[in-house]
Amino acid sequence: MILVLLDVDRGALDPVSLQVLTLARGLDPDVQAVVAADPSVAAEAASHGAGVVHVAEHAGLTDYAPRATARAVVQLIGSLSPAAVLAGGTPRGNEVMAHVAAFLDAPLATDCTSITMGTPFEVSRARWGGNLLEESTVTAPMLLATVQPHAIGAEPAPAAGTVQSFTPDLDDADLAVRIVERTGAAATGVSLAEARVVVSGGRGMGGPEPFAMLDDLAAILGGTVGCSRVVTSEGWRPHSEQVGQTGTKVAPDLYVACGISGATQHLAGCKNSKVLVAINTDGQAPIMQIADYAVVGDVHAFLPLLLAQARAASAG
Q: Tell me how far apart the terminal alpha carbons of the chain are, to the nearest angstrom.
A: 53
Residue 285 resides in a domain: yes
Pick the closest to residue 214 from 206, 224, 222, 204 (CA basis): 224
Residue 161 resides in a domain: yes
Strand-pairing partners, residue 136, are 123
Entry pTM: 0.78
Query: Do 88 and 152 fall into the same domain?
Result: yes
Does residue 234 have a pLDDT over 90?
A: yes
Q: Tell me, what's the pLDDT at 85? A: 98
Query: Do 157 and 206 fall into the same domain?
Result: no
Q: Tell me, what's the pLDDT at 130? A: 67
Query: Do 84 and 21 fall into the same domain?
Result: yes
Residue 125 corresponds to which amino acid? R
Contact, 114 vs 138, CB < 8 A? no
Q: Tell me, what's the pLDDT at 194? A: 83
Tell me, what CATH number does 102's domain have? Answer: 3.40.50.620
Residue 37 resides in a domain: yes
Q: Tell me, what's the pLDDT at 187? A: 54
CA 151 to chain CA mean position, Å: 11
Residue 175 resides in a domain: no
Residue 288 resides in a domain: yes
- Which 8-state DSSP code applies to residue 34? E
Residue 177 resides in a domain: no
Over residues 134-140, mean pLDDT: 96
Q: Tell me, what's the pLDDT at 306? A: 95
Contact, 195 vs 223, CB < 8 A? yes
Relative orientation angle of helices 66-80 and 91-104, to the nearest 10 degrees: 60
Query: Do 155 and 85 fall into the same domain?
Result: yes
Q: Tell me, what's the pLDDT at 161? A: 84
3-state DSSP call for residue 312?
Answer: helix
Residue 216 resides in a domain: yes
Query: Do 274 and 150 fall into the same domain?
Result: no
3-state DSSP call for residue 20?
Answer: helix
- Which 8-state DSSP code applies to residue 41? G
Q: Tell me, what's the pLDDT at 11? A: 86
Write the CA distances from 261 to 180, 217, 229, 230, integer angstroms.
38, 20, 11, 11
Mark which of 148, 166, 184 sits at the end of a domain.
166
Query: Do 151 and 290 fall into the same domain?
Result: no
Mention every residue, 6+ apart, whose C-beta is less than 8 A from residue 77. Answer: 3, 85, 100, 104, 142
Mark which of 166, 185, 220 sits at the end of a domain.
166
Tell me which residue range forms the domain holding 207.
197-315
What is the rounded CA–CA span in Å between residue 256 and residue 294? 10
Mark which of 166, 189, 209 sits at the end of a domain.
166
Query: Do 6 and 129 fall into the same domain?
Result: yes
Q: Tell me, what's the pLDDT at 2? A: 98
What is the rounded CA–CA span in Å between residue 276 and residue 267? 11
What is the rounded CA–CA span in Å between residue 160 and residue 224? 35
Query: Do 34 and 161 fall into the same domain?
Result: yes
Q: Tell me, what's the pLDDT at 192? A: 86
Q: How many domains does the chain have?
A: 2
Write the CA distances from 6 to 62, 70, 115, 145, 239, integer angstroms.
15, 12, 18, 13, 23
Relative orientation angle of helices 299-315 and 211-221, to the nearest 10 degrees: 30
What is the rounded CA–CA span in Å between residue 273 and residue 293? 12
Strand residues in 167-253 grouped as ranges (E):
197-201, 224-227
Mention every residue, 6+ apart, whose C-beta is less than 8 A from residue 303. Answer: 210, 213, 214, 217, 258, 279
Share of the chain above pLDDT 90, in %: 81
What is the rounded CA–CA span in Å between residue 124 and residue 147? 10
Q: Tell me, what's the pLDDT at 127? A: 83
Strand-pairing partners, residue 87, are 5, 146
Report pLDDT digits (tens) over 165-224: 999 999 999 999 999 888 765 555 678 888 999 999 999 999 999 999 999 999 999 999
Tell me, what CATH number does 272's domain have? Answer: 3.40.50.1220
Does residue 265 have a pLDDT over 80?
A: yes
Query: Do 80 and 127 fall into the same domain?
Result: yes
Query: Do 217 and 81 fall into the same domain?
Result: no
Q: ω before 120 within 30° of 0 (cis)?
A: yes
Query: Do 205 and 128 fall into the same domain?
Result: no
Q: Tell me, what's the pLDDT at 188? A: 52
Residue 31 resides in a domain: yes
Query: Do 205 and 134 fall into the same domain?
Result: no
Does 52 or 193 have the greater pLDDT score? 52
Report pLDDT digits (tens) over 79-128: 999 999 999 999 899 999 999 999 999 999 999 999 999 999 999 998 87
